[in-house]
């Protein structure tokens, strides 16, 4: 069966760099994205500390999901990883080393667009290594109160997000997205993070969001009818598009491309991580397949791993809560 995923791994053609501020720390951050070898994955290195270790962009390295996704090891942490990881996934980068001199990825303009444009400038190069793909074979469900996510079989990678707010400007929004570089750049990358003015003020009072401003956050007016940003919205439904962007970035922590359709309702970082835990805890509902090139098409070559033997390829699900995942029968 032909599938819409490039079979070969890719990395950047050359190093790219940027400078910005951390959303919560307010500190200046210098960040570089460098080419990396086959099967390297995405790795984060801190240049402001003595440790030479790295943090792999993988779900078993998640240490916090409040306000943003934070990865860590015994030596250091890196937070607000989701926009950068979404850009890397949207551009089709499998292997890269990310170096930064701060515990936080710079927020830039609040979207993935600056990172995506950096990647477009340098381009990507095909590597001599085939991808492995996580193929969903049966539906998997995750629920947390009124927030829920489902991933089900699909010949591609599709995300459907839905949010519902009790205000005039957001109300109920729904957006569906099939992942490819062109659509990512046009429809998802520019969607910015958002918040209510009073929430931002509360975060400031608690020493958080010190780098936030109208240059990197959509600030929703107290009246819930408009935004304070003079340039308005980039999309009429920018709020749900940003939620889909966050979801794409978090799901990159599965560590490989996905064949499946994710549906998310009112979900945030904690629920995204919950779905990944549910996937890891349901090995009978997926397998990991290798890819090969067949003429102009990418096809599945063979099952590289399946069922319980493959769960270690995702994560040792230390924090999984029994009952969170319900598999279809």
Share of the chain above pLDDT 70, in %: 88
Q: What pLDDT is attached to residue 36?
A: 99
50 or 312, greater pLDDT: 50
Specify the pTM: 0.91
Q: What is the arithmetic mean of pLDDT over 216-228?
A: 94
β-strand pairing of 70-72 with 77-79: antiparallel
- How deeply is 138 buried, as exposed, middle or buried, from its count of CB atoms within 10 A (0-12, 13-18, 19+)? middle
Neighbours of 187 (CB within 10 A): 17
Closest by Cα among 15, 31, 146, 145 to 81: 31
HEC string for 267-315: CCHHHHHHHHHHHHCCHHHEEEEEEEEECCEEEEEEEEEEHHHHHHHHC
Q: Which residue has the tokens 């086959």?
A: 38
- Which residue from 117, 114, 123, 69 is spatially nearest to 93, judged by alpha carbons? 123
pLDDT higher than threshold 60 for residue 318: no
Given a cut of 50, is residue 308 above it in pLDDT?
no
pLDDT at 225 over 50: yes
**Average pLDDT, integer, range 219-239:** 95
CATH number of 2-327: 3.30.1700.10
Is residue 248 predicted with pLDDT exceeding 70?
Answer: yes
Q: Mean pLDDT throughout 205-218?
A: 91
Residue-range domain boundaries for the chain:
2-327
94-147 pLDDT tens trace: 999 999 999 999 999 999 999 999 999 999 999 999 999 999 999 999 999 999
Per the listing, tokens 């995702």 go with 314
Q: Is 242 one of the catalytic residues?
A: no
| pLDDT at position 320 over 50 | no
| pLDDT tens digit sequence for 26-79 | 999 999 999 999 999 999 999 999 999 999 999 999 999 998 999 999 999 999
Q: Among 121, 141, 180, 156, which Cα is nearest to 326's?
A: 141
| Predicted pLDDT at 202 | 86
pLDDT, greater one: 300 or 311: 300
Catalytic: which of 24, 269, 272, 297? 269
């Amino acid at each position: 069966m032909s599938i819409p995923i490039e079979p070969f791994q890719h990395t950047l053609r050359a190093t790219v760099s940027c400078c910005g501020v951390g959303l919560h720390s307010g500190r200046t951050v210098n960040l570089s994205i460098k080419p990396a070898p086959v099967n390297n994955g995405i790795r984060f290195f801190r240049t402001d500390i003595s440790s030479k270790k790295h943090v792999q962009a993988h779900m078993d390295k998640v240490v916090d999901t409040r306000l943003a996704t934070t990865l860590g090891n015994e030596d250091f942490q890196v937070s607000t990883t989701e926009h950068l990881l979404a850009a890397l996934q949207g551009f089709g980068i499998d292997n890269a080393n990310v170096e930064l001199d701060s515990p936080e990825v710079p927020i830039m303009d609040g979207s993935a667009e600056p990172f995506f444009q950096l990647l477009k400038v340098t381009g990507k190069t095909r590597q001599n290594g085939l991808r492995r793909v996580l193929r969903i074979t049966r539906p998997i469900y995750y629920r947390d109160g009124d927030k829920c996510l489902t991933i089900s079989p699909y010949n591609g990678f599709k995300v459907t997000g839905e949010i519902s707010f009790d205000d005039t400007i957001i109300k109920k929004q729904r957006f569906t997205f099939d992942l490819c570089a062109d659509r990512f750049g046009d429809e998802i990358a520019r969607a910015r993070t958002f918040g209510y003015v009073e929430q931002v003020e509360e975060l400031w009072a608690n020493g958080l969001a010190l780098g936030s401003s109208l240059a990197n956050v959509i600030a929703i007016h107290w009246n819930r009818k408009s935004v304070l940003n003079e340039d308005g919205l980039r999309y009429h439904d920018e709020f749900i598009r940003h939620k889909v962007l966050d979801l794409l970035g978090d799901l990159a922590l599965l560590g490989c491309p996905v064949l499946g359709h994710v549906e998310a309702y009112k979900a945030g970082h904690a629920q995204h991580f919950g779905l990944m835990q549910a996937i890891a805890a349901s090995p009978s509902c997926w397998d990991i397949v290798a890819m090969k090139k067949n003429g102009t098409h990418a096809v599945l070559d063979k099952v590289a791993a399946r069922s319980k033997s493959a769960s270690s390829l995702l994560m040792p699900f230390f924090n999984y809560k029994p009952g969170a995942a319900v598999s279809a029968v």
